[in-house]
Amino acid sequence: MALPKLQTPTYELEQPSTSEKIKYRPFLVKEQKVLMMASESDDEKQVRDALAGIINSCTFGKVDAYTIPMFDVEFLFLRIRGKSVGEKVELSLTCPDDNETKVNTTLNLEEIGVTMKKEHTNIIEITDNIKIIMKYPTINDMMGVNEDIGNVDKMIDVIKRCVHEVHDGETVHNKVDISDSDLSEFIDSLATEQFEKLGSFFDSMPKVAHVVKVTNPKTKKKGEVTIEGIGSFFE
């Protein structure tokens, strides 16, 4: 006699970058095992593929986790994870006033959203005539960056991947028509102030973040801790 088929519940969310309604389901044990094995391997590519695979499967193939912005990936995974193994997460945070005292707190993943600074724009004005239109980095664009965040060459690689168009007056240069060498030469020719404008795009772009108010039990001082990125929401 065949075992009964289990019905998996479905939920709905709004994809941050598009405001499109997306149906999703919790991940299954077999999918969780793949993610756990990838995490234990400490291999960034395995973790990326496991994460993308879960999002693609749990959104019934409606979302391609490799092509959407990274903040979409993080938001979707937190929602899927919440419905799969629980929406409450226990964290130990460091008080900002002394940078050593730990306090425990409980987060509700349903309350975590995507934040963006008011001054953010993806149009970078290099000169009066020259503008760079940026796209948001994907999970592929960010490969290798988190583990070597201080490497300038890797950061320049991410910037190059996120250039969508270069406008020179009325002339529009699409990324697909720009050679890698020409783009590298163009970025290398930027003044420091102009290059910093590109950095501001990444600093102010949408991200999954949550501010937690804490009170140091030793000093009684109150402070705030900002939690960003998927890894920061789990221990």
Q: What is the pLDDT of residues 170-226, one digit of tens each?
A: 999 999 999 999 999 999 999 999 999 999 999 899 999 899 999 999 999 999 999
Burial 149-179 (b: 16+ CB within 10 A, else e): eeeeebbbbbbbbbbebbbeeeeebeeeebe
Instruction: Write the DSSP assignment of 18-40 as a string of letters.
Output: T--EEEE-PPPHHHHHHHHHHHH
Q: Give residue limits of the domains in the chain.
A: 11-86, 90-110+208-233, 123-204
pLDDT tier at 42 (50, 70, 90 boundaries)?
A: confident
Give the residues across from 93 on adjacent strands: 103
Crossing angle between the packed helical segments 29-41 and 44-58, to the nearest 10 degrees: 160
Q: What single letter denotes the amino acid at residue 10?
A: T
CA-to-CA distance for 11 and 19, rounded, in angstroms?
16
Does position 168 have pLDDT exceeding 70, yes or no? yes
Tell me what pLDDT residue 64 has: 97
Does position 145 have pLDDT exceeding 80, yes or no? no
Please name the residues in contact with 100: beta carbons below 8 A apart, sequence gap of 6 or more. 94
Tell me what pLDDT residue 148 has: 56
- Which pTM was predicted? 0.87
Chain segment 55-110, per-residue pLDDT in tens: 999 999 999 999 999 999 999 999 999 999 888 989 999 999 999 999 999 999 89
CA-to-CA distance for 18 and 15, rounded, in angstroms?
6
pLDDT tier at 117 (50, 70, 90 boundaries)?
A: confident
